[in-house]
Amino acid sequence: MTALKQSPLIELENVTISIPSSNTRRILASNLNLRLEPDSIIPIIGPSGCGKSTLLRTIIKLSPLTSGNIRFYGKPIETLPVMDVRARCIYLHQHPVIFPGTVSTNLIMPFTFKAVKRKAPERSELLKILERVGLSAEMLDLGAVSLSGGEAQRLALARAMLIEPQLLLLDEPTASLDGDSATTVINVIKAWVTEGGRGVIWVVHEAEIIRNLGVKPLRMTPKGFVE
Amino acid sequence: MYEYIPLKLTNIALAALFVLAAGITSFSLRLRLEKALGIGALRTAVQLGLAGVAIGFVFGLKSIIWVLLLGAVMTLFAVREGVKRLKVRLPGSGLDVVLAITLSSFVVAVTVTGVIIGADPWWEPPVFIPILGMVLGNSLMGISLALDRFINGCIERRAEIEARLTLGASANEAVLPVMRDGIRTGMIPMINSMNIVGVVSLPGMMTGQLLAGADPKDAVMYQIIVMYMLVAATAMGSIIAVLLTRRRVFTKDVALRSDLVDKG
């Protein structure tokens, strides 16, 4: 347990990321080094197409690691079963996918998957998480596809938090939110990250959000991160 | 009782006048289908003629080896057609089509001839070869529809599949709705044809039997068995093909293949 505490949540060492291009792969960035300690948030900024989303996808193995090392709790990610990584590390897309059914069925859906070991949460827990992300209790039984973009994003955040991951990989989650909603989300995540050694890598564009996070961002360039 | 009327080449020549009429219509309306009509008509005559010779030859030999050999050649053509119909191909798709068509067609054809109809032996050429031919054609149609829908579904519904994966779903759990969609697409045409058979359409096999002087009661019973076996073959073929291809759309890290992601 002590060893776990000493390890960073996630560590990137000389990582190179790439995307498919015709029959080969195009390198987006290399020499990426990063160390995310428990209870901390690392904002990542950079121009569109520089590979921020690909980096997050690479960490959860949706995209292959071109070269370098990614360690999760000190263990090389390639040695860990992919389902273990994804159960402890949730990626939240800029345009969240909301499934047909009610808000409630969306929140419970991950618990129907075999790899998610936790028991499905009770209704009271669902109401609590909705309140936490700033959605009203009445929404629980509403059709989820009718939610606005901002509400859908907060529902996706609530769904991810219910699984109790240790790491959240956020891909511009506030891009479609208005000022108040964005502040709610920032405060929720800032509080969440301190509840027991959690961490967040946050891809962000808006200067206002970066100021609000109060953490110096890393700028992603083709040759690595610069502060 | 109606008696079977044997046909001569002059009957075929008379029937060819229909194609000639269609050709003249095409020419006068400038449809430019004359060449295609001519080639189609010629291929029909040559292909069916050759099939007739091959079937007649195998019927005469009464040997299981020759029956299976003819079955293998028919399967080969079905597989070739099945692979050709796939709009998006993955490495190994051809093998999946081979396995799905062969397994579904042979299991159903052998069960129908040996168990349901009770032919003795089960490979009795005049029973087994036509049954296998019908099963192959329909299984092929179901498999190509199912695979096309499934692979395109993986491309079009990439965000949904990846969202499930990131929430902890296994490959099967992530892609299950897309698999169901593919299998349904493969089976629906056959289910639809069961609903209209005898009302809107009289199937080729039953019509053929009636023309050949068979008792309508027997022709109907054969046709009912044929419809049921075709449903089984399309269901089995679609399910096997989608299950086999499911393994190919994911990498060993349970991510969608990059060439599918790239197309999305």
ipTM of the prediction: 0.91
Predicted local confidence at residue A6, as pLDDT: 62
Tell me which residue has tokens 């007739």.
B52
Mean pLDDT of A199-219: 88
Predicted local confidence at residue B91, as pLDDT: 85
Predicted local confidence at residue A3, as pLDDT: 44
Q: Where are the domains of chain B?
A: 7-61, 63-263
Interchain pair B165, A86: CB under 8 A: yes
Q: How far is CA A110 from CA A82, A139, B196, in A?
A: 16, 19, 42
* pLDDT band with cut points at 50, 70 and 90 for residue B211: confident
Distance CA B209, CA B204 (A): 9
Spatial neighbors of A160 by CB under 8 A, at least 6 apart, are A90, A92, A168, B167
Which segment of A150-164, A192-206, B201-215 scores lowest on mean pLDDT?
B201-215
Predicted local confidence at residue B201, as pLDDT: 79
Mean pLDDT of A177-196: 87
> Taking Cα atoms as reference points, which of B222, B220, B234 lies closest to residue B127?
B222
Burial of residue B126 (CB within 10 Å: 0-12, 13-18, 19+) is exposed
Which site among B154, B156, B166 would you substitute to test the A interface, given the most A Cβ atoms closer than 10 Å to its Cβ? B166
Interchain pair A60, B159: CB under 8 A: no
All residues of chain A having their beta carbon less than 8 Å from the beta carbon of residue B261 are 20
Q: Provide the shortest C-alpha distance from residue A112 to chain B (in Å).
A: 9
Is residue B30 over pLDDT 90?
A: yes
Which site among A57, A82, A107, A111 would you substitute to test the B interface, given the most B Cβ atoms closer than 10 Å to its Cβ? A82
Across the interface, of A21, A63, A113, the residue whose CB is closest to B168 is: A113
Q: What is the model's pTM?
A: 0.86
ω into B121 cis (within 30 of 0): yes
Q: Provide the shortest C-alpha distance from residue A110 to chain B (in Å).
A: 6
Is residue A174 over pLDDT 70?
A: yes
Interchain pair A62, B162: CB under 8 A: yes
Mean pLDDT of A167-195: 88
What is A2-97+152-226's CATH superfamily?
P-loop containing nucleotide triphosphate hydrolases (3.40.50.300)
Spatial neighbors of B90 by CB under 8 A, at least 6 apart, are B151, B245, B248, B249, B257, B259, B260
Is residue B240 over pLDDT 60?
A: yes
Q: Where are the domains of chain A?
A: 2-97+152-226
Predicted local confidence at residue B258, as pLDDT: 76
Predicted local confidence at residue B44, as pLDDT: 95
Interchain pair B170, A64: CB under 8 A: no
Per-residue pLDDT tens for B225-237? 999 999 999 999 9
Interchain pair B168, A64: CB under 8 A: no
A27 and chain B in contact, CB less than 8 A: no
